[in-house]
């Protein structure tokens, strides 16, 4: 007998096209920064975006990425939230799922 209550939701990774670019602005609505979207990752019922800035001047090295937590504000607006230092374990888990998915592709 299969007990669905004991079934964990498997993480899901969706790789984005190379030309997927989105812009984020600061709380003041200015200082817009363009990002390349690399992958959408669903983990523990939450969605995350792995991204890299288009411009090199954002203090992020070429081999580094940023992880945003996605939160729907309303039907037309998605918020990209920065993860805090206290969420470091979550950042690690999201990135591990991304690495696992890229390894599965090889």
Whole-prediction pTM: 0.83
pLDDT (tens digit per residue) in 45-99? 999 999 999 988 778 888 889 999 999 999 998 999 999 889 999 999 999 999 9
| Local structure of residue 63 (DSSP, 8 states) | T
Q: What is the dihedral of CA 73, 76, 80, 81, to 10 degrees?
A: -10
Burial tier of 13 (Cβ tally within 10 Å: 0-12, 13-18, 19+): buried
């Amino acid at each position: 007998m299969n007990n669905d209550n004991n079934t964990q939701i498997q993480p899901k990774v969706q790789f984005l096209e190379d030309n997927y670019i989105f812009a984020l602005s600061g709380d003041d609505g200015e200082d817009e920064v363009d990002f390349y979207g690399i992958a959408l990752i669903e983990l523990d019922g939450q969605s995350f975006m792995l991204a890299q800035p288009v411009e090199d001047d954002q203090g992020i090295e070429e081999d580094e990425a940023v992880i945003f937590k996605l939160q729907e504000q309303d039907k037309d607006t998605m918020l990209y939230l920065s993860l805090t230092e206290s969420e470091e374990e979550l950042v690690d888990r999201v990135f591990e799922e991304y690495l696992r998915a890229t390894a599965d592709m090889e």
